[in-house]
Amino acid sequence: MKRVCIVGAGNWGSAASMIIARNMKRYDHFENTVNMWVYEEMIDGRKLTEIINTEHRNVKYLPDHELPENVVAVPELLDAVCDCNVLVFVLPHQFLHRTCKTLKGRLPPDTIAISLIKGIDFNEEGVVLMTDMIKNELDIDVSVLSGANIANEIAAGKFCESTIGYADEENATTFYEMFNEKNFRISIVNDIESVQVFGAIKNVIALGAGFCDALEMGNNTKAALIRIGLLEIQRFARKYFGPINDAAMLESCGLADLITTCLGGRNRRCAEAFGRADGKRSWEELEAEMLNGQKLQGTSTCLEVMKILKRDNAVGDFPFMELIHNVAYEGAPISTIVDFPDEHAPA
């Protein structure tokens, strides 16, 4: 019997809980109840977990949708994962390491996990994937799910697709059953690395798309920046993970996710506001004002990407990411976002 715990209860964790909870009822080999670890917060004098368990609504992170009654909010992480052997990690990536440390040595030996987190980390050796971070701490098999998936649209039941990247095929089947639905179509690829690199770096490209919107440059420019961005993400994945599987680029986790992030999405939105304020408002201020407790990811990823590219003397191979970094962090005028060097064809 498999018993699922969702580790994280933000916008996407809450929307994902709706899909998972519905699918738990379709299969006998899953327990009906889905635990959801909620980082406790007080909302108008009440605990968020209490509100979720009585009103079946995450009033802070997914206020417009009811959660199924078999989703149970648990405030203590170790209580939430107790007796669960399938973990779904879905929290902003800056909290993952600490969360894994708390779980270390406390999980049943047959535990498997899937990460819905979009983000990557960096250490002295290079790029650290979220799946590596989980695996290194907890020594369990970890898959990844990523796609053109804006949580509010999924919660509203609008059709979309997503991609599961796996290492262990049997576990991929479990995750397919947990997530695949009529309006949430899953494809699976045997490629953990590129699925995650696309999911993380697209947030940097989305900043460029936001700057483009601030300048009201129009659709041709936006399309060109998406295309150039796609190639730079692919180049980044190849540089740090070798000859990766190009197929993932055309799955939902690749091009489709980049498009949706550059059209909607919080990174694009905040970057547009940053651009309209001519860089005079800080990212921290915009995040606090516009995101209601949600986290921007593109900005920290942008800084980390540039750090590693500088270390490896490779900035010149990523002209768009350099332009984005210069506008976001070096005070370069927003209009320079399309100042691609003549000698470097963007492709």
Q: Give me the residues paired with residue 269 across strands.
A: none
| Contacts of ligand NAD in 77-116 (CB under 6 A) | 90-93, 95, 116
Q: Binding residues for ligand NAD, how many (CB under 6 A)?
A: 23
Known binding residues for substrate: 118, 266-267
C-alpha span between 213 and 210 (Å, rounded): 5
Cβ 131 to ligand NAD, closest distance in Å?
Answer: 13
Query: Does residue 10 belong to the site contacting ligand NAD (CB under 6 A)?
Result: yes
Give the position of tokens 């979720």. Answer: 52
2, 22, 33, 39: which one binds ligand NAD (CB under 6 A): 39
Q: How distant, in Å, are the alpha carbons of 61, 119, 256, 270, 297 from that of 289?
A: 15, 22, 28, 10, 15
> Could you tell me if 29 and 60 are in contact, meaning their C-beta atoms sit under 8 angstroms apart?
no
* Catalytic residue (choose from 202, 222, 280, 307): 202
**Which two three-digit tokens encode residue 123?**
């250490």
Residue closest to ligand NAD, measured at CB: 10
Active site residue 47: no
The angle that helices 266-276 and 283-291 make with each other, rounded to 10 degrees, is 120
| Contacts of ligand NAD in 13-32 (CB under 6 A) | 13
C-alpha span between 153 and 35 (Å, rounded): 23
Cβ 217 to ligand NAD, closest distance in Å?
Answer: 25
22, 57, 239, 295: which one binds ligand NAD (CB under 6 A): 295
Query: Does residue 12 belong to the site contacting ligand NAD (CB under 6 A)?
Result: yes
What is the total residue count of the chain?
347
**Which two three-digit tokens encode residue 15?**
């929307």
Cα three-residue angle 231-233-238, rounded to 5 degrees: 95
Query: Does residue 165 belong to the site contacting ligand NAD (CB under 6 A)?
Result: no
Query: Does residue 297 belong to the site contacting ligand NAD (CB under 6 A)?
Result: yes
C-alpha span between 83 and 68 (Å, rounded): 21
Question: Judged by CB, which is closer to ligand NAD: 24, or 114?
Answer: 114
Q: What residues are annotated to the active site?
A: 202
Q: Which residues bind ligand NAD (CB under 6 A)?
A: 8-13, 39, 61, 90-93, 95, 116-119, 149-151, 294-295, 297
